[in-house]
Amino acid sequence: MLDELYVFSIIVEQSSMNKASAALNLSQPALSRKIAKLEQDLGVELFRRVGKRLELTRIGRLTYDYAIETRQQHRRFLKMLAEYKTAGRSALTIGASLTTLQTTLPDLIQALTEQSPDLDIKAITGKTHEIVSLVRDRKADLGIVASQIDDPGLRCVPLFEDHLVLVLPRNHFVMDKGETVIGDLNGLPMILFSKGTWYRILTDELFEKYHLLPDVRMEIDSFEAILRLLHTCRSGTLLPKSYLREQMLDDNDLISITIRELKESRRTTSLIHAETDSLTPAVRLWIDEIATLYKPRRNG
């Protein structure tokens, strides 16, 4: 029916079977057969003859509106399809803050490359304000940061909410006290992430809010290294929930504990990019793809 609708719209626009025949490079009998088939499929009369002229019936005018809408939609689809094919062979530069570099970027890159093995991904890391500058200056196509950004030149798309959890070696002495509460962090030997990231700022704000003074043994800029050292130092740590995996905890003989006050320390991980109109079609497609990947987590 798509072909017949297209022929029908051209006849209406040309206001003449002769002109439509020339425009479409089809004989008049062929045009007549297509219109007859369309009328048969729809079960209505689209034209009525007034002398030598063809006039649209009322349902014919409605059908013409629908034919135009369908034609435009078909063109948009073909354009999107061409852009998608281009995107599959394109390069994508992602800026990632120090926290998202460890929590979000690895899974994101894996998901994107599984969908498009030919996609060439380049990652640039830095602190959140540095990633914002990179995206604003078009040195990165998009950024993944562990906060919501309010910048007049950028769009911010929330991906998911995150919060801190307490991680301890199994059979740590804190567990002997029964249910773990926020006050148990006071004086607790801890290994914390280095200063300067949202995660460390959030951690320090939490300590200040609840008047906690943990025994900070080390400050390290690697979540993986922190986990590996917890048993050796008999220490605990606070890590973003999005980073932790069951296998990771099992491999290091660790447990994660959710404390109400920690769960309330929520932070939104977001995707940032320049104004949509200024982006290439390929980058727009990848932004939509990433937002779709995280939709279940937002709804959850």
CA 44 to chain centre: 45
- Residue 48 in this model has a pLDDT that exceeds 80: yes
| Mean pLDDT, range 238-254, rounded to an integer | 92
Q: Looking at the predicted structure, is the pLDDT value of residue 235 above 70?
A: yes
Q: What pLDDT, on a 0 to 100 scale, did the predictor assign at position 164?
A: 92
pLDDT in tens, 222-233: 899 999 999 999
Q: What is the pLDDT of residues 132-174, one digit of tens each?
A: 999 999 999 999 998 889 999 899 999 999 899 999 998 887 7
Tell which CATH classification among 3.40.50.720, 3.30.70.660, 3.40.190.290, 3.40.50.300 matches the domain 164-263.
3.40.190.290
pTM, whole model, 2 decimals? 0.63
Whether 91-159+267-299 and 164-263 share one fold: the answer is yes
What is the fold of 2-80?
A: Arc Repressor Mutant, subunit A (1.10.10)
Q: What is the CATH number of domain 91-159+267-299?
A: 3.40.190.10
Collapsing DSSP to helix, strand or coil, 192 comes out as strand
- Rounded mean pLDDT of 85-90? 59
Per the CB < 8 A criterion, the answer to whether 100 and 144 are in contact is yes
With tokens 């932790």, the residue in question is 244
Please report the sign of the dihedral spanned by the C-alpha atoms of residue 289, residue 290, residue 295, residue 297. positive
- If you average pLDDT over residues 61-86, what whole number do you get? 81
CA distance 219 to 72: 58
Domain boundaries, the chain: 2-80, 91-159+267-299, 164-263
Q: What percentage of the chain has pLDDT greater than the value 70? A: 96
Average pLDDT over residues 177-186: 88
